[in-house]
Structure 1
């Protein structure tokens, strides 16, 4: 252990920290600022739909039609307000996620070690860092214990550097640069990959190294997702088609009668009718609000595009401890004595026999003095209950540690009992690793292996414990340099979470393969897997994986349900092998070494309670409660989001068919225009909340977890769905044509009113047909119809809209035609399908 001489670790008081925070500001980098109202307004006005609305309103004013121009501007403001509301919900959801996912740091305040948000860390704070932590700020190392830090974010070098403790030196603080080995400086944003230490904060926020190079780590991904790119391409194609049709319409009408400004207005109306501006809106709102819903289920979204993939997951690789189990370890059984006839003791409330005191004593000494790991907590708890004072050693000094590593699955601690006595060495770890440290003969290893197998077959996690002595301070390079004596075995139980069996069953019904990956003994892993509902399948061990080629591993994983004695680098091979088989892989992890596997998986899922900052940074999702059942809830919600997105896109496509037809058909037959920009703006107020609010609130289908995962290569809105939506829209267009035909003897204003009522009634039925049947959808339907009826029956609205009053029979006819059109579409499409009644846009 490298320690600064007489370090002052008192830290700051809360008052001092508050004053420093007020003086320096938050420990945060200058991230992209949230858009201002004016910035959002400018962005909206650059959208084609809003630009067309403003242009149309301006042309009305140029033509001297003040009433229509001002009315259209009112509608522009209404559409702006609705869009602002939708964008506001989306941005609020993202901001809430940023707040939920902010990291914490452990500091000394008022003489107590407490956790505070990293943004509240100030200069002068004493910061406690350990393996897996992201360092909150630039700092000086006062104490270090095998402290190694990954500074690749600042230097580009992937090799971790060693940090040493030293007395605080104000003159050297700002001369230290990242990348140096054996230095006493650490830097904000870098990661601890090994060991632990105590550091004194020297710079925060933009004053640190990270701030000076302008990097930012704690940002939620905002890049376009594949679905957004698909949709943007679709809108772009439709925009060019729209542009061509509009130019053709303007030229045709202008050349026909010489009235170019009215022709321009008709062209604008056609563009507004065809262009599906709602697609980008729903593509932004659904994932953002979906991420907010996931957070309410205990799953934080770090990368929004993970929501697209979550519902398509085909293989779910999960840890055992803390994810399937409760992570409440307790010692259940002990084994000591002769290997041929070991003495076993089950912990059941009886006092611990003296023969077992040494085993528990050295298990505690091989653990952290202030334990965090649940197994080490269990050892300390057992010792406090049953061991006498002479076996607890609070006055001993820990002078050297040997951490667990892939090469040796055991950890060792060296203790100084007094100045002139030999050092005491304690080790614990995997039985085979401790057997190796103790140099047991093959016969003894086989005998103790049978005991391990028997304990593991009861579902216990089994560790072995050994002790040794060492004289002098010339520490060996590894724990193999000590002479160890075998003490015995400890079996720990960790009960399965009660909701796991149902969650596993849900995965199986959804055609999702679950593979349990654990470092446990194979027999222990299999018992837990059977309890969880993973009865079938093979058990694959880490040693077997190492002996396999990549191709053989890919083929073998088809029949595997449990992987035991797995190290982190083998997790990565498992993920890569599954991906080669074409699987969509979700992987859980919590440790520093899990980061490569989490990053390689399609959906990396880090643990929020026991996970490291490194694992969280590498993941797409974070489980707040570390519970496997939360992953299944997330998959269900991911499928719901994607399904509702499909329904919304089908509806948008269908409703634009009659709107575009009503703008185009009159031109083709030299009829007076039915829909002008004013009416298109009114319909925008109907369509926008329908496609976003109504469909986003739709609950998941009852059988959403009985369907196989969707094909990630298939388009979100395929040809079959597009054809079905086109047929729906065409039926509505025919109904509006019928409304126009039955009203030929009416005034132009009455004809327009009949057509609008028919269209809005059909719109309500389209929402229902495309499977939005929640109360929000009902209110949207009622609101849309009410809005149009107000436009007809309120004189000061009817006049600028060029609408006339309809009598009861005319209103009933228009409503009936609208409803009948969608019912006809539903009936006809039902006859064309061979797999049962038509279900609207229920695709995937």
Structure 2
């Protein structure tokens, strides 16, 4: 990564160890602003409320509650009115979460800074650092802004939370600035806001502050990314709007026609009111809320904490996963992976030498990994007094320690870049070539390789300098960031299920390729692109190229990838645990943070938090999301199948001059059957085992054209059967109460039958609900005291036979149409990934391993 330096911001030569005076500080603060990543103030609460009031679902609930109050149904009216509260709070919650993300991002910023002003070092709040300041950063401290490193030795920085780089990054002071007005300077010369210095003491010339820093850009992305309503929300709102419009029109027409037919004003009002209660689609938003809540509960049981309920829907429609590597697919720490000791050297001796040349206090993850491995060796290091340490530098590329092991005996141990350590040892030409070949083989696997050597010194003859020759070569140590347990199986499961998976990391392409191969990502030949190459391809072709791994990716490039995938129609889930993942988490359809290792900002920006940091939990969450969509689809299909004959007969028969088919009490009874069935019978959980293969994207709409055709056919046939049964009963000389009982019997049995066919009675709840519906209906219709009280007459045997025959025909058609079959895969856009196809691009060259 190379960052341009606007030289006009510098007060002089960047390497001049001079600070600013008070007047310069004030002038530069006026010109460039304060070192504050927050930017503009929060939106006022009134503005948030105004946005919430633009939701048509809110106005539907208000109108529905008003109508219920007008009809005297106070319980339903209060229920609809209370449902307004979560909708009003939704935008406020999302706004609060965005602000919380911004506050979480600030948690990794330096609180205070040491700067050189007026010729002396002063401690100031980090927000008071200005462009041009000369700041001193000690080991363990965060960089207060983005700036050029102008002085320091043995500098290493931890940048995993910002760039995704899992290993410490070596930093070097900039000797001189390249020519030009805005020369590009390599990232190794920069200290970046939001990152931490691990070793050494650095002097930094501040170039960018506040929102101009790389960290500030992340905050802007997190704050500016708006979350659109999900397709499920849009579909429900559209469906409700259509049903409300149709219901209002039918009520008005029915009232007018009944009045013109001479039935009187009271009959006209009663007809319209009954039809209105039957036709109001309050079940749909209620079902959506209930099912999403059930999905949240189920995912929580699977260790996935849902922070935004509609994400339960979105995760079921995911077609592409952009996963961070460090801390998500890997454990985010170094460990010793391979030991190649020299002949006649034991692995314990090799590890002890590596541990002697390591330091506990430096914070270097490589040292920590070597010390941990040495401690678990069969013969752990007992330790002697350390006489001298010669630390690692970019020029020397090695670290040497001299340890006293007895009276008059010293042992010098060295570890470092293999080519440097080999230079210190006397090896035959063929022997050295063999070790260099082994180094290349280990490095090609993406491992960090170091070499170790030692020699014995005469304490009396040693003069305190670092030995430069005469070392005995001990062997090679290869370290790696291990793949998480279960990650390989989860990646394979995603691939088998047709989910596109792209690993995005800040690591070197060679390291990323090795991890991808261990995971099985992309098959046998993962395709790797650097972040710069990806952006160039996006700019040239406008489409996402075939890629399995994006290496050397910075936050803006990960964000651009997510946006490009969404433009191509992918439903994108992004996993991550660091600050660098925040923009992509916000831009994705589903942002998924790791709860254990994840930063606060990543958790706040995400829609779902995996509490166990297990990538496999994501697979199970996707399965639950897909099951939720299917459950909700079946629920809505059931509601429409029941309401279509109910509403059509409630409207058409009175329009045709017949007596009212349903009294208000009958509508209440039917709703008592419909509501529990809709809410409880369709709560099937995802089946255990492998994620089901999906041969096409999960549709954003509820029903396909064939499903709409099935709905109209079965619902229409049921309505025709009701009209025929009602007319036949009246023509046969039966009274209206008997004819109404026939119609209610048909609807009640149809309700239970539709639920049984759609659920296939797979769950205990669905079986109980259908059984209780049938038992309650028979009791209501056939027990004379109860039937008479609600204005019905018990049915005869031949009535039940006709009802059962009509219902059986409708259920047979529904069962034939609802045979589950895999969807046909829609063709992917050109450039989409086909797992395991084609060679990967050649990775760029890597620096010599240390």
TM-score normalized by the length of structure 1 = 0.63
Given candidates 735, 755, 780, the residue that maps to 2:721 is: 735
**1:528–1:463 Cα change, 3 Å:** same
SS in 1 for 2:701: coil
1:762-819: per-residue Cα shift (whole Å, max 9, x none)? 1111112333632222222223333333433455543442112234x15632651453
Q: 1: distance between equivalents of 2:239 and 2:291? A: 18
1:161-240 equivalence runs, <5 A: 193-195=194-196, 224-240=229-245
State the 1:647 CA deviation.
1.6
Given candidates 609, 615, 622, the residue that maps to 1:628 is: 615
Residue aligning to 1:668:
655
Residue aligning to 2:764:
775
State the 1:270 CA deviation.
1.4
1:86-125 equivalence runs, <5 A: none
Which range is displaced more, 733-742 or 79-88?
A: 79-88
2:372 matches 1:381:
yes
SS in 2 for 1:609: coil
Q: 1: distance between equivalents of 2:370 and 2:321? A: 32
1:806-836: per-residue Cα shift (whole Å, max 9, x none)? 34x1563265145314234337x64xxxxxx
**1:47–1:786 Cα change, 3 Å:** farther
Residue aligning to 1:786:
775
Given candidates 525, 550, 572, the residue that maps to 1:585 is: 572
Given candidates 581, 594, 613, the residue that maps to 2:600 is: 613
Q: 2: distance between equivalents of 1:662 and 1:706? A: 42
Residue aligning to 2:39:
none
Query: What is the aligned residue count?
Result: 656
State the 1:656 CA deviation.
1.0
Q: 2: distance between equivalents of 1:518 and 1:619? A: 18
State the 1:56 CA deviation.
3.9
SS in 2 for 1:508: helix
Residue aligning to 1:802:
791
State the 1:735 CA deviation.
2.5
State the 1:351 CA deviation.
4.3
Which range is displaced more, 794-803 or 662-671?
A: 794-803
**1:598–1:93 Cα change, 3 Å:** closer
SS in 2 for 1:770: helix
**1:354–1:323 Cα change, 3 Å:** closer
Q: 2: distance between equivalents of 1:430 and 1:625? A: 37
Residue aligning to 2:840:
none
**Any conservation in 2 of the 1:536–1:561 contact (CA below 8 Å)?**
no
**1:51–1:797 Cα change, 3 Å:** farther
Residue aligning to 1:207:
none
1:441-456 equivalence runs, <5 A: 451-456=438-443
Residue aligning to 1:23:
none
1:581-730 equivalence runs, <5 A: 581-697=568-684, 699=686, 705-710=692-697, 714-730=700-716
Which range is displaced more, 499-508 or 265-274?
A: 499-508
2:509 matches 1:516:
no
**Any conservation in 2 of the 1:731–1:824 contact (CA below 8 Å)?**
no
1:189-338 equivalence runs, <5 A: 193-195=194-196, 224-325=229-330, 329-333=334-338
Q: 2: distance between equivalents of 1:574 and 1:343? A: 49
**Any conservation in 1 of the 2:745–2:781 contact (CA below 8 Å)?**
no
**1:600–1:48 Cα change, 3 Å:** closer
**1:777–1:225 Cα change, 3 Å:** same
Q: 1: distance between equivalents of 2:298 and 2:61? A: 31
State the 1:675 CA deviation.
0.6
Q: 2: distance between equivalents of 1:841 and 1:731? A: 27
Residue aligning to 1:20:
none
State the 1:517 CA deviation.
3.5
Q: 1: distance between equivalents of 2:695 and 2:791? A: 52
**Any conservation in 2 of the 1:575–1:597 contact (CA below 8 Å)?**
yes
**Any conservation in 2 of the 1:649–1:717 contact (CA below 8 Å)?**
no
State the 1:633 CA deviation.
1.0
**Any conservation in 2 of the 1:585–1:602 contact (CA below 8 Å)?**
yes
Residue aligning to 2:837:
none
SS in 2 for 1:538: coil
**1:765–1:45 Cα change, 3 Å:** same
State the 1:525 CA deviation.
4.2
**Any conservation in 2 of the 1:331–1:378 contact (CA below 8 Å)?**
yes
1:158-207: per-residue Cα shift (whole Å, max 9, x none)? 999999999xxxxxxxxxxx99x9xxxxxxxxx9823499xxxxxxxxxx
State the 1:663 CA deviation.
0.7
Q: 2: distance between equivalents of 1:841 and 1:84? A: 41
**Any conservation in 1 of the 2:585–2:602 contact (CA below 8 Å)?**
yes
**Any conservation in 1 of the 2:642–2:715 contact (CA below 8 Å)?**
yes
Q: 1: distance between equivalents of 2:241 and 2:229? A: 15
SS in 2 for 1:695: coil
1:732-775: per-residue Cα shift (whole Å, max 9, x none)? 21232343245333232122112111111011111123336322
**1:548–1:237 Cα change, 3 Å:** closer
Given candidates 811, 815, 824, the residue that maps to 1:823 is: 811
State the 1:329 CA deviation.
4.9
1:577-622: per-residue Cα shift (whole Å, max 9, x none)? 5445443332222222222233333332221111111222332222
SS in 1 for 2:759: coil
Q: 2: distance between equivalents of 1:652 and 1:771? A: 13
Q: 2: distance between equivalents of 1:239 and 1:358? A: 78
TM-score normalized by the length of structure 2 = 0.62
Residue aligning to 2:457:
none
Unaligned runs of 5+ in 2: 1-43, 48-57, 116-121, 139-143, 148-191, 199-221, 404-412, 423-431, 454-467, 826-850
State the 1:346 CA deviation.
8.1
Residue aligning to 1:764:
752
Q: 2: distance between equivalents of 1:54 and 1:227? A: 29
**1:705–1:623 Cα change, 3 Å:** same
Which range is displaced more, 812-821 or 625-634?
A: 812-821
**Any conservation in 1 of the 2:696–2:824 contact (CA below 8 Å)?**
no
**1:648–1:736 Cα change, 3 Å:** same
**Any conservation in 2 of the 1:460–1:524 contact (CA below 8 Å)?**
yes
Residue aligning to 2:737:
749
**1:163–1:229 Cα change, 3 Å:** farther
**1:89–1:245 Cα change, 3 Å:** closer
Q: 1: distance between equivalents of 2:688 and 2:711? A: 20
State the 1:561 CA deviation.
2.6
**Any conservation in 2 of the 1:735–1:821 contact (CA below 8 Å)?**
no
1:309-458 equivalence runs, <5 A: 309-325=314-330, 329-333=334-338, 347=347, 350-352=348-350, 355-359=353-357, 361-362=358-359, 364-367=360-363, 377-382=368-373, 384=375, 386-390=380-384, 451-456=438-443
State the 1:660 CA deviation.
0.9
1:263-301: per-residue Cα shift (whole Å, max 9, x none)? 101111112223322111122222232122222212222
Q: 2: distance between equivalents of 1:367 and 1:312? A: 43
**Any conservation in 1 of the 2:620–2:691 contact (CA below 8 Å)?**
no
State the 1:324 CA deviation.
3.4
1:418-567 equivalence runs, <5 A: 451-456=438-443, 461-462=447-448, 490-493=477-480, 496-497=483-484, 499-520=486-507, 522=509, 524-534=511-521, 535-542=523-530, 545=533, 548-551=536-539, 557-558=545-546, 560-567=547-554
Q: 1: distance between equivalents of 2:504 and 2:686? A: 33
SS in 1 for 2:336: strand
Unaligned runs of 5+ in 1: 1-28, 33-42, 58-72, 105-117, 119-131, 167-177, 182-190, 198-216, 337-341, 403-407, 418-425, 436-444, 468-483, 831-836
